[in-house]
Amino acid sequence: MRAVDGIKGNSCDLEAELGQQRAHVIVVGNEKGGSGKSTLSLHLAVYLLHQGFRVATVDVDSRQQTLTRYIRNRRNTLDTTGRDIPMPKHVHVPTGWSDSIKENQKAELELFSRSMDKLYEEVDFIVIDTPGFDAHLARLAHSAADTLVTPVNDSMIDLDVLAKIDVRTGDPESLSPYSKNVQRARAERQIATGAPSDWVIVRNRISALSNRNGASVHDSVVKIADALTCRVADGIAERVIFRSLFPIGMTVFDPLDAQLLGAAPSMSHVNARQEYRDLVAMLHLPDPRLAQDERLSA
């Protein structure tokens, strides 16, 4: 099954057999760099792997390839330590490199569709990491989202990626180009499938100290979510442990010890793991295995 019509008129074929079993697609998207998309992507994927699901990760950020490097680090840890850590199937979809924008977009559409069609049949969940800027592949990825997760750093300036905020009231004055593009994709998906993407905004890197700015950000995020008809999930706190996980390709859901981390795991590690569990619970992800069992027993 191919992606739904893309944002800004980039269309893909959509099969009529909507009841066909296929993977659930989670897209982690935000047009602002440094919002924690890649860290969130791998944590979602590894959590699902530990739950026994078949999971694939897709990196459409050809410039940074952060998720690809994260998974490469994970593979290296597996190979050098022999630890039993689950690995997702991983695909990197490159951008086109010709002088023709039209030809590049045609090639990207073909590569993306081919990769997704194959993964739809092989796994239960596909987690797609997107770049921190507007790009054709990012739009294609957003058009394929069953669940769209947008991490936003916990500051008023970072909310600008979603909407222009009235500094006096905290109300959204106008939607950002990114929000408009996502809304367009959701509307197209509604027409094509009968249901829009479930869009969830996640406050990320929340300060451990309560302050007026944090309360203002929370209030504004809730107002933005109301305007966008999307949801807000409990956020992830700013923690040093996340910086130590990338080089070894690990997540808070993996077995960690002083040998890997250079220091014994602390309560910060335990709290981070619980925050991610709470986040996954709020995403209301389906269990494809239950759906398949229901069809087999029908």
What was the pLDDT predicted at 116? 96
Contact by Cβ (8 Å): 108, 116? no
What was the pLDDT predicted at 212? 65
What was the pLDDT predicted at 16? 36
Q: What is the pLDDT of residues 144-173, one digit of tens each?
A: 999 999 999 988 889 999 999 998 888 999
Average pLDDT value over all residues in the chain: 87
DSSP H helices in 194-233: 212-228
Q: What is the pLDDT of residues 88-142, one digit of tens each?
A: 999 999 999 888 999 999 999 999 999 999 999 999 999 999 999 999 999 999 9
3-state SS assignment for residue 27: strand
Q: Is 104 exposed, middle or buried (0-12, 13-18, 19+ CB in 10 A)?
A: middle
What was the pLDDT predicted at 216? 84
User: What domains does the chain contain, in order, with CATH numbers?
Assistant: 20-284 (3.40.50.300)
Closest CA to 273 of 254, 294, 259: 254
Q: Can you tell me the distance from the alpha carbon of 128 to that of 179, in angstroms, rounded to the nearest whole number?
A: 18
Segments in the chain below pLDDT 70: 1-21, 208-214, 291-298
